[in-house]
Amino acid sequence: MRRVLLVNCLAVGLVAVVGVVLATSSSHRARRSLFLPFHTRVTLSGQTLGSRAGQHRKGHVFATARWNDGSRYVVATPRTDSSGRWHVVFHPSHRGFYTLRILTPDAAVLEYAFTVG
């Protein structure tokens, strides 16, 4: 009886230690990001793709940002030109971690990460 109780306690202890180690390592994963000095303006640009060569999708580009894992907010909604080119200007207003997501008319999703310090 004691041996069964001891084995069960050791098993529970081992599971608890493994759980704590896994939780600690997953919560402290290093986020890969580009460091930006405070008051830096970032301009991102690109060109959409089309179904045929030489033809590009035209429409709105939606750029949203998230500061320190908060809620998303709209940064810019520019339109593409006749060649499918677009430009988004991002000017972070606070220090911290930002994620920037850009959705283009050809359904491409571009994600960037910045650490502003």
What are the sequence ranges of the domains in the chain?
1-30, 34-116
Cα(96)–Cα(38) distance, rounded to whole angstroms?
A: 10
The whole-number pLDDT of residue 12 equals 42
CATH code of the region 34-116: 2.60.40.10
The whole-number pLDDT of residue 46 equals 93
Q: pLDDT below 70 — which residues of the chain? A: 1-30
Cα(111)–Cα(4) distance, rounded to whole angstroms?
A: 53
The whole-number pLDDT of residue 48 equals 92
The whole-number pLDDT of residue 5 equals 41
The whole-number pLDDT of residue 50 equals 80
pTM for the whole structure: 0.69
The whole-number pLDDT of residue 109 equals 95
